[in-house]
Amino acid sequence: QEVKREIGIKEFTEPGHPEIVFSKMKQKLHQLKKQRDAYEQDDNAEGYVETDDKIIALEEEMAVLVDGINAGTSGYTATATSAN
In tens digits, the chain (84 residues) has pLDDT values of 677 777 776 766 666 678 888 888 999 999 999 999 999 999 999 999 999 999 999 999 999 888 888 877 654 443 443 333
Interacting residues of 19 by C-beta distance below 8 A, sequence separation 6+:
69
Nearest Cα to 5, choosing from 25, 32, 34, 31?
25
pTM: 0.73
